[in-house]
Chains A and B, each alone.
Chain A
Amino acid sequence: MSAVDLARAQFALTATVHFLFVVLTLGLTPLIAVMQTRYVLTGRAVHLAMTRYWGQLYVVNYGLGIVTGLVMEFQFGLAWTGVNRVAGQVFGAPLALETMVAFFAEATFLGIWIFGWGALPKVAHLVSFYLVTITAYASAVFIMVANGFLQHPVGYVLRGGEARITDLGALFTNPEAVGALRHLVPAALMLGGMVVAGISAWHLRKRPDDTDVFLRSWRIGVVVGVVGAFLTFLFGWAQLDYLRLDQPGKVAAMVPSSDTAPVADRPPGWIAGPFLFMEQFGEFSTYLGLFLLPFLIRRWVVRRRILLAVMTWWIPLPFVAVVCGWLVREIGRQPWVIFGVLRTADATDLSTTQVAVSLAVFGTVVVGLAVTNWLVLLTLARRGPYRMALGRTLGADEPAALSPRSPQWT
């Protein structure tokens, strides 16, 4: 394998794992914001329990999103020196704005949210989570602008072999960025909804008499999941309109039967597979959602054991579908790293040994941590809203000999 192949494998691995965590983060934040808002408005314990239960899953999930994101950010400078040399000024701009404008604030307010339970006034604490939600989505915008540039470079001029920004507005209104965001945002909500509904279904099946937290959560999950699935499906197909013009090779590989003229630089044909999975999943999810709508009434879903089991086993599917989406988008751009400007083969000048060492190091670390984190999430999810980690003070766990007990969150 050449250095380019190894660097691609490393990037594909970290990007996939990163996205699996990030998409759940994006999907859960708005749901938790709604739950906490209801708690602040009503003051009822059930909404507090929901916020803390889903909040702790969200926070544990967030950690891996950050560390895999770090590995990705540095790979642009470490491995993809060609992208940096040719388009560093353009591609780097949205990344720089993302870190300074969005990510910095997101991490700060998340710290305030995690460690401000009980210490901050309720409304201020809620505001910190709104800021986390807004900045999380702002991050997604900047990242998709950077990715959109790779797919369809606009707003730049090549001078002396180096790209320079001529129109920052064009970079941000790139159809490849805007169109993809319209697809990705509902996809994240769909996934968040399906995860919430699936985990809630498990609890409803195990404890059909204790439905306070999980019947409410299940309803929110189903509604967000079905609306998200429908919009994802809709905006997914809408992308084909401009893809046919911008990247005909990608469309030809995705839908082999389509009558697009053959093109010289075609991506590998196997992306038709992930495309088919994604498309079928979107369709079936919409049907499942419509079938579930009557069960939103009263307590009809409780004790529907088979239906609840299906919903729990459904959880991995949206993750597979969103990874398929990225495979179609990124593999479909090949053999270009910046479409029409720079070929992937010319995008790195590192030696094979260097990339192999880095792949071995980061591959082991990233996969090991991802698996560990999922197991932790599974344990936390199954424990239910008891002995919750989020918002717990030191004194709640320490033996009484060490510190006198003080009033506690339970």
Chain B
Amino acid sequence: MDIALSALLLVLLAGWFVLDGYGLGTGILLRPLAPAGWPRRRVITGVAPVLLANEMWLVAAAGLLAGVFPGAERTLAAAYPAVVPGLAAWVLRDAGLWLRGRRESLRWHRFWESAYTGGSIVFGFSWGLLLGDLAVGLPAAAGLGDLAVGWFPIACGVAVVLLLAAHGAVFTAVRVPSAADRARALAARLTVPAAAVTAAVALAGLLLPAVRDRLAPAAVLVLFAPAGLLLARRCLARGRTRAALAGTSVAAAAPVLAVLGCAVPTLVRLAGESTAVGVALLAVAPVVLAHQALLWWLFRRPVTDRTVAFF
């Protein structure tokens, strides 16, 4: 059962990267995606209906960590320099979206759009830091000042931001027709650099003894990131935006699956003992998937002038 619960944790985190990665990527690229005013509001309205539900994947992962892997939750404290800015950025990103539409003033809009963009960049970067920290082993990363290792989490941060930006652009191209041309152009420009950086970071990680010590077969999954991005690039060139989205989705899920996939044996060792709690959590997982599917089915249509907006 510990393995099933670890798998659930991985599914929740991968799901979060794919789904909320859309919100983050859109936030990162908000300015270039659409000019200020109504066109930009349309881009935000693409994210709006799914925002709350998407971030719940990460909230649930955190809950699962607290309830089933309390020992692993403690490693969050060891990764303080990555988690605190990430959490603050998460709050800012949400507040930016939540408050943006509440006043009809351009300055107000610009301020909260910046909070959304800034929050998205820092949140994505912090996730890269955290994954990099986990890949090199947390105790080492607590001394980030050590340049021989310290560059790696930062490189991971840059890679995650680029990757999510490309993913957000492709997602926007699918969901917001009014911004689709710009989104496709941005995605086409971003996929190759993002693929190059993720591939370079993944290979460079192998140079670090700390990373090599921790290597498990799951680490191969990280190669799906550049592969997915390059596939997305080919699909975009042929005008198949939805297929491109499948590519960037695989890419978005790959890094977290690779890093935490290697950590599964540790997770299993740290798992709590209550069978009742584990069973309850596993039993409710299909229900969660069902209402998530319902939400995406309800809001499957692209944004038009008849779409309800709130932000």
Contacts and interface: CB of A to CB of B under 8 A. Distances in A.
B88 interface: yes
A107 B277 contact: no
B77 interface: yes
Contacts of B272: 88-89, 92-93, 164
A210 B92 CA distance: 39
A198 B283 CA distance: 44
B151 interface: no
A60 B102 contact: yes
A120 B95 CA distance: 27
A402 B42 CA distance: 11
Contacts of A358: 80, 84
Given A63-B98, A77-B74, A96 B277 contact: yes
A398 interface: yes
Nearest to B93: A67
Interface stretch (B60-68, B131-139, B159-167, B200-208): B60-68
B63 A394 contact: no
Given A107-B53, A116-B298, A168 B274 contact: yes
Given A84-B73, A96-B277, A78 B80 contact: yes
A103 B74 contact: no
Contacts of A89: 67, 70, 272-274
A88 B299 contact: no
Contacts of B65: 77
Given A95-B66, A97-B277, A108-B292, A398 B38 contact: yes
B73 A394 contact: no
A178 interface: no
Interface stretch (B43-51, B219-227, B236-244, B254-262): B43-51
Contact of A404 (B52, B77, B305): B305
Contact of B308 (A78, A91, A361, A392): A392
Given A93-B67, A168-B277, A395 B291 contact: no
B107 interface: no
A74 B62 contact: yes
A371 B70 CA distance: 34
Contacts of B38: 394, 397-399, 402
Interface string B209-241: 000000000000000000000000000000000
Contacts of B101: 389
Interface in B295-311: 295, 298-299, 303-310
Q: Kindly name the residue among A71, A96, A354, A365 whose own CB sees the greatest number of chain B CB atoms within 10 A.
A: A96
B71 interface: yes
A287 B277 CA distance: 45
A108 B38 CA distance: 26
A310 to B, nearest CB: 29
A391 B42 CA distance: 15
Interface size class of A (residues with CB under 8 A): 35 or more
Contacts of A77: 62, 65-66, 73-74, 76-77
B59 interface: yes
Given A165-B274, A379-B103, A361 B84 contact: yes
B288 to A, nearest CB: 5
Given A376-B103, A399-B38, A100 B80 contact: no
B199 interface: no
Nearest to A166: B274
A339 interface: no
A342 interface: no
A78 B84 CA distance: 9
A99 B60 contact: yes
Given A120-B298, A369-B95, A168 B308 contact: no
Given A63-B98, A78-B84, A88 B66 contact: yes
Contact of A67 (B95, B273, B305): B95
B276 interface: yes
B56 A394 contact: no
A111 B309 contact: no
A70 B91 contact: yes
A280 B274 CA distance: 44
Given A67-B94, A89-B273, A92-B68, A394 B45 contact: yes
A112 interface: yes
A66 B94 contact: yes
A70 B66 contact: no
A109 interface: yes
B38 to A, nearest CB: 5
Contacts of B274: 89, 93, 164-165, 168
A115 B299 contact: yes
Nearest to A361: B88
Contacts of A84: 66, 70, 73-74
B144 interface: no
Interface string A291-334: 00000000000000000000000000000000000000000000
Contacts of B192: none
Nearest to A56: B310
A354 B82 CA distance: 12
Given A105-B288, A392-B309, A97 B281 contact: yes
Interface in A46-95: 59-60, 63-64, 66-67, 70-71, 73-74, 76-79, 81, 84-85, 88-89, 91-95
29 contacts: A63-B99, A67-B95, A70-B90, A73-B62, A77-B66, A89-B67, A92-B70, A92-B73, A93-B67, A94-B67, A97-B67, A99-B56, A99-B59, A103-B59, A105-B288, A107-B53, A108-B292, A112-B295, A119-B308, A168-B277, A357-B84, A358-B84, A379-B103, A392-B309, A392-B310, A393-B305, A398-B38, A402-B38, A406-B305
8 nearest interchain CB pairs? A96-B67, A88-B70, A99-B63, A395-B305, A63-B98, A403-B305, A115-B49, A92-B66
Interface of A: 59-60, 63-64, 66-67, 70-71, 73-74, 76-79, 81, 84-85, 88-89, 91-101, 103-105, 107-112, 114-120, 164-165, 168, 349-350, 354, 357-358, 361-362, 365-366, 369, 372-373, 376, 379-380, 389-395, 397-399, 402-406
Given A108-B294, A165-B277, 15 more contacts: A71-B91, A77-B77, A81-B77, A84-B70, A89-B274, A97-B281, A100-B60, A101-B284, A108-B291, A114-B49, A114-B308, A115-B49, A168-B277, A380-B102, A398-B305
